Amino acid sequence: MATLEALIFDVDGTLADTEAGHLAAFNHAFADAGLDWEWSTGDYTRLLEVTGGKERMAHYLKAWEPATRPPEPVNESIAALHAAKTRHYVAMLEGGAIALRPGVERLLREAREAGLRLAIATTTTPANVEALLEHTLGPGAMDWFEVVGAGGVVPHKKPAPDIYEYVLREMGLAPTAAIAFEDSGPGVRAARGAGLPVIVTTSTFTVDHDFTGAALVLDSMGEVERPFGVLGGDAGGHEWLDVELVREVHRAANFEF
Ligand code: XBP
Ligand code: MG
């Protein structure tokens, strides 16, 4: 029977409900550049089917705004737009605009006390991860995570399994020794593609995604005073996600393998 050694967390939508912040940052960058692009919440919900901010803008240009051509070569202008968007987003995080979701800090602290190893596997830009963790968990919070797999460190972003495979490789772990925490369909597919069991906590923009393959689907990690809602799978009578429930899900998932 495989022993659980590591918890691997997605960032956007899982650690914090960040996508409304990303959306505002994209629209700020478009306005700064004098572009008349304004993504609505509905637009962004559809555009989130493409992971990665640069890839999302390239898709938008090609599929939604084929008539618009930024002045310089497309890739340079997308890179410049994305750098501006990241500046806006990081400034939001530094201003404390985005908090961790319910139960996240509690589970992270419990896992550390239980001697479990922590890692991150995200599509977002590394600077965004550091700003979120340092301004929610405090200075040095990046050190809680043995590996931070983020953004372009791998050639293919989620739903490709690359980022989870990278994190497992860097940690020297087999997929049976870890479990992933995600909020989106592409994220579940990426983790399952790497052979990891997945616990989903749905978030604002992904609640209608297809979570096929997830071991457990919750509406949040829950807190003692704020029990989670179970949307799929068996939470074994638990009312919040703690290390004991994570171990139970990991055991059940490995038993099926
Ligand atoms: C979600 C994403 C990211 C963010 C925007 O990442 O797909 O692209 O939407 O961040 P996660 P960038 O894997 O954490 O859910 O603009 O930096 O890509
Ligand atoms: Mg996510």
Instruction: Tell me whether residue 95 is exposed, middle or buried, using C-beta atoms within 10 angstroms of its C-beta: 0 to 12, 13 to 18, 19 or more.
Output: exposed
At 256, is the pLDDT very low, low, confident or very high (cuts 50, 70, 90)?
low
**Rounded CA gap, 232 and 209, in Å?**
13
- 37-62 mean pLDDT: 95
Strand (E) positions, the chain? Answer: 6-9, 117-122, 147-150, 178-182, 198-201, 216-218, 230-232
**Rounded CA gap, 251 and 114, in Å?**
16
C-alpha 11 to ligand 1 mean position (Å): 8
pLDDT tens for 29-48 read: 999 999 889 999 999 999 99
pLDDT tens for 101-121 read: 999 999 999 999 999 999 999
Whether 10 sits among the annotated catalytic residues: the reply is yes
Residues with CB under 5 A from ligand 2 (ion): 10, 12-13, 183-184, 187
62 pLDDT above the threshold of 60: yes
- Catalytic residue, from 12, 17, 183, 242: name it: 12
Q: Which of 10, 12, 15 to mutate to test the pocket of ligand 1 (most atoms within 8 A of CB)?
A: 12
Average pLDDT, the chain: 95
Q: Which of 22, 203, 204 to mutate to test the pocket of ligand 1 (most atoms within 8 A of CB)?
A: 22
C-alpha 80 to ligand 1 mean position (Å): 17
Whether 242 sits among the annotated catalytic residues: the reply is no
The protein residue with its alpha carbon nearest to ligand 1, atom 7, reads 51
Q: What percent of the chain has pLDDT over 90?
A: 91
Pocket of ligand 1 (CB under 6 A): 10-13, 19, 22, 51-53, 122-125, 128, 158, 184, 187
